[in-house]
Each structure stands twice: as C-alpha cells, then as structure tokens.
A and B are shown apart, each in its own frame.
Chain A
Amino acid sequence: MGSTGMGAAAIDIQGLGFAWTGNEPVLDIPSLTIRRGERVFLHGPSGSGKSTLLGIVGGVLVPRRGTVRLLGTDLGMLSSSTRDRFRADHVGFVFQMFNLLTYLSVVDNVTLATRFSARRRERAGNAGDEARRLLAALGLGNPALLGRPVSQLSIGQQQRVAAARALLGRPDVLIADEPTSSLDADARGSFLDLLMRECAAVDATLLFVSHDRALGPLFDREISLTDLNRARPDAEAT
C-alpha cells in the first residue's frame, strides 16, 4: 500500500483546514507539495501550528477538511488503525526532547519501530546490526556508550539515537520536530550534517521544523508557515 513512482510528491496537501475542539481554526493551508527526496525546512513562531501540521502529515491528527496525500496515499481514506500502520511503515519521527524510552537500551530504542512495522523490520534486515551501523554513522559507535542507560547519554547523543531510530528501516519520510533546539551550536551543526547525510543515503524526504530560521540555508527549500497558513492562530512573534 502507498507505493508510488519516483518523482511523485512525498507529501501533498490540498485545502487543509484544522481546528481543535473550539471553532478557532489552527491551520488553513490551501496547498503544499513536497517532492520525494526533498529536504524542506518549515519555520514559524511558537504556536503557529507547526506540530499540529506534523501530526496531520503523520496521520495522527485528522483534518476537518482537505486532503493529505502521503506517498500518493490519501490519509483521509484510511481507517485510523490503517493510518497508524501506514505511519509505522513509512514515516520516521524525531522530536525536540525526551525522544527515548528510558527503560530500553540504546539499540532497543533504535529498533523500536521494527516491533510495530513489518515493512520496517524487513527493510532493516538484521535490526540490531542495522541499528549499530546507523549509530556508528551518527558517531555513536563506541560499544561502551551503547551499553549505558539512555538517560546517561548527553542530549546531543540522545538526539542522534533518536535520529537513528527514525532512519532505521529506511522510512520514506522523516519528520523532525525541532530536534536541535536543545542542542548547543556545535552539536546542532554536526547533528544536522549527520541527519542530512543519512537522509540522502536512504533517499528519505525530510520535513524539518524549527523556529530557528538560521538553519534554513542548509535545506533544499524553506517554507514559512506564517506565510502558508491563512488561519493565523495566536502565534508569538520571534
């Protein structure tokens, strides 16, 4: 399900409208298309609806109107559990913080998606080995480091583990929600480098969200949610 030819849009949003329980619209996006393999930087102030948009693209939130096609599949046509399965198969997530389950080892955190997605499991091959390969590529090859409880890793290291998890099993789309905002400048630079390289290696589409516009030039394309979104919720200016 959801397989598409090369060149097709990875993400295609048309006439999207979303509101939480109140009637105040949060998102009103006439059109947004992101090509396969494209690395897009989406910026906007806090409260502008960035995370909400990511929830919709990930199929966790359901828009009130409009269509969201992910890899050619209309998410609105899927049942909620099929949508969940679709997400598990095709989308990797990296969050701002608290990305890891503290009760799992580093490698188990990385292979977590293979527990829920047969496709990711298949594509990862030997999940443990693939996890270690990805971790090594992200600069976490030291076996002593892998043996530690995740809570003892630095924030930068934790974010790299989270990135490895999102990339395992070569998802088609990688969604990153402010993954660098808790990192210092040096760590931010090297993390972005690694993320870009690995996305390119697995030919993943990257949708990277941040309020830090300085990162924009590193990407193929910059999109301002403030410009894109006609709903204009109570956003704080940055």
Chain B
Amino acid sequence: MSALPALAARSLWSRRVTAGLTVFAIAVSVTLLLGVQKIRSEARQSFTSTISGTDLVVGARSGPINLLLYSVFRIGDATSSVSWQTFELVSRHPDVSWTIPISLGDSHRGFRVMGTSQAYFEHYRYGARHPLEFTRGAAFDGIYEAVIGAEVAEGLGYALDDKVTIAHGLGEVSFAEHDEHPFRVAGILARTGTPVDRTVHVSLEAITAIHADWEGGMRRSHPHDHAADDAADLAPTRITAFLVGMKSPGAILQMQRALNEYRDEPLLAIMPGVTLQQLWELVGVADTALMIVAACVVLAGLLGMIAALLTSLNERRREMAILRSVGARPGHVFALLVLESGLLALVGVLAGFAITWSVLGLAAPVLERRFGLFMQLGLPGIYELAVAGAVVLAGLLAGLVPAWRGYRNSLADGLSIRL
C-alpha cells in the first residue's frame, strides 16, 4: 500500500500540464479564500481601531452611523452643526475630562481639512489607545499653521514649513482657492492607518478666517485684512461635532442621555464602539457575500478537478489494467485515484498559500498607503489551517467520483482492455 502515494505522484507528474492547470485552479481559489479573509480581518481591525479612548461623539441630531461616518471617517457631510456655546457647556461639565471640537467642510487638494484645537493632539487615540505622534514639527500654534497627516505629506510631497493654500468647499480641484491665505506646515503626523493620515488639521480660528472672506458663498468686495485677524474676531460660533472623554466610565451613559435629551439644541451623542459595531454589521453583509463567492470559486476549482480526472480515466484504462496485472486490487485503483485528487488539492493548497503570502507581501505597502490596512504575514492561523484542511478533505471527497468510476472500470475491464 505504501507504494501508492509514490505511484500517484509519478502518474500525476507524467500528466503535469493538465495536473498543473488543475493545481493552479485550486491554488487561485484558495488564494481568493485566504486573501478575502485576510483583508477582511485586517479591514475590520483597522476599521475598529480608527478611534479609541473617546467615550462620546456628539453632533447635530441625525443618524448615529452618519455622525460616525462624517466625524471619524470623514465620509459624507454633516447636515447641521453644533453651537459653540453647547460645546463650551459640555467642556465645562465636572464629569468631562476633555473635549475635542471638530469643524469640517473644507478641503485641500482632495484631502479633508479639519478645524480643531490643541486638545486633539493631546487626547485623540486610535488602535490600542495610541496617541498621535509627530514625525516632524509640532501642533499648530498660530492661526495660519497646519498639521498634516502622513498620507497628505507623502501624497502631496509636503515638507515642514511648506506653504499651502486651503480651499473653501470640498473636491480635488477648487476654483475658489484662497491664495491670500497661505498656511505653513507646522507639523507632520506619524502614520496611523486611519483617516487622520488623510487629513489637514488647522485651528478652529483658521477655519473662521478662511470663511471671513466669504459670505453666502460670494467673495467680499473688500478683502479682509489678515493682519488684523485676532483670536477674538475669529472665535468660532458653530462646529461640526465634538469628541468627549469622561473622567469615569460610569458617567458615560448619563452624559449620553443628557445630551440626547438636551432641550436647547437637537443633539446626538453616540458611543463610537457601539456604532462602529453597527456599521460593521452593515458592511458585513457585503463581506459575507464575498466569502460565499470565494467559497464558490473553490467549489468550481474542485469540480474542474473532478472533470479533469474523469476525462483522463478513459485514456488511463490501460494503466489500470497493467496495475491490476501486477497485483493491484480494484481497491488499489480506487485508492490511487483518491490519492491523486487529494495530492492535487494538497499541492493546490500549498501553492495557494504561497501565492497569497507573496501577493500580500508585495501588496502590503500599497494596501497600507492606499487603504490603511496593515498586513501582518505571520504563520497561518487557525482559519488558514482550517481552509487548508477543508480543501484537501474536499479534494479527497471529490476524488471519490473518479475513483468509483475507475474502480468499476477496472472490475469490468480486468486485464483485457485493448486500446
């Protein structure tokens, strides 16, 4: 019996072109299955680690997911804003440890501009409570200073002290650029793998200053005198949203309820972790569909293998008869064919792992830069091993079909087949 695996391997090797194609089909399907799962788990990881350590996100009343999307992911726009008085009221609350104001609505060459305060650099956390770090420079100090995310710096080739202009409105190309408002790059943030990397941060006063020249979307006939800008003139009246850190976790729910029931202004306060989970469940549907598609591709690969083995059976009847003549039993023929398909699946799985690991290894820098996904290519985990085991097992099971046919053929043919 121990001779069979060697025979199966050599028989396959003699048909290496067709066997190779079968292996390749399985490898591609395994690659897809592993790749989808890898990206999925990394996406989930990176998604849920976008914000951490923030107890509440507060904005004008809309949907929780909408609020999370525009305030944290910079996706979409706020429909309304929050008054500065409310922000200050919450900030002064004895249970509140810190607050970070967020003012959105402008862009710089396709990157979102966010007005905020120094508190942002001090209290914002992502991932496993990582604080924001500067690779160069420091937080903005003056009105016309900006702190840019790693991707902004890389994508636009900005260095410290470069002069940049901020546009009113959003979009890659703006016809209404404020040339007379040059901002100095005061700091560049270290890469976080979150939307922070794609954000230009300026002070709230700067946001007001940008809009001082613009009223109702029209430029003032007499340009604003920037030399006269001072903090008093530029104090914000409304912001888009704000982040809240509480002194004790016990106070979070109470504060959330208070804000949601606040009478003077319609507010919405959400716990980011909870809403992230809801949002992920929404995205998870597409994600499950992707997994199903990947599994179907594996199935197609295995069906291809069955077809290839069945097709080859007829031209291999002589081979089986020879084996029978030297003492192979029909059971040997059966085992040989099951072994062959198992071997094809095994080699396909190994090739699939090799392809997945090399493709992800090569694509890792791109995935990190473009999507903020950090691919960790360690040893295969439980999921990967389960996939490998399942595909090999499925390969062995698929082999039962041609094996049964081969078994029946060799019983019927005996030694007398003539081709």
A residues whose Cβ falls under 8 Å from a Cβ of B: 51-52, 54-55, 58, 60-61, 80-81, 84-85, 87-89, 93, 95-96, 98-104, 112-113, 115-117, 120, 165, 177
Contact = CB atoms under 8 A, between A and B. Distances in A.
27 contacts: A54-B415, A55-B414, A55-B415, A58-B325, A58-B414, A60-B415, A61-B414, A81-B329, A84-B328, A84-B330, A85-B329, A89-B327, A93-B326, A93-B415, A95-B415, A98-B419, A101-B11, A101-B319, A101-B322, A104-B10, A113-B327, A115-B7, A116-B3, A116-B326, A116-B327, A165-B326, A177-B415
B416 interface: yes
Sort A-B residue pairs by CB-CB distance and give the 5 closest, nearest first: A88-B327, A103-B14, A116-B327, A115-B3, A60-B414
Interface in B366-393: none
B63 interface: no
A51 B327 contact: no
B384 to A, nearest CB: 33
A102 B322 contact: no
Contacts, number: 72
A165 B418 CA distance: 20
A11 B325 CA distance: 18
Given A103-B13, A103-B14, A113 B326 contact: yes
A117 B332 CA distance: 13
Interface of B: 3, 7, 10-11, 13-14, 318-319, 321-332, 414-416, 418-419
Contacts of B331: 81
A117 B327 contact: yes
A103 B415 contact: no
A51 B11 CA distance: 27
Nearest to A81: B329
Contacts of A115: 3, 7, 326-327
Contacts of B322: 95, 98-101, 112
Contacts of B321: 95
A216 to B, nearest CB: 23
A134 to B, nearest CB: 15
A177 B10 CA distance: 27
B416 A51 contact: yes
Nearest to A90: B327
Contact of B318 (A61, A98, A112, A113): A98
Nearest to B2: A115
A95 B7 CA distance: 21
Given A95-B325, A98-B322, A115-B326, 16 more contacts: A55-B414, A58-B325, A60-B324, A80-B330, A84-B324, A84-B328, A88-B327, A101-B322, A101-B323, A103-B10, A103-B13, A104-B10, A115-B7, A116-B3, A116-B332, A165-B326
Nearest to A21: B412
Contacts of B325: 58, 93, 95
Interface centre among B11, B323, B418, B419 (most CB of A within 10 A): B418
B326 A55 contact: no
A124 to B, nearest CB: 12
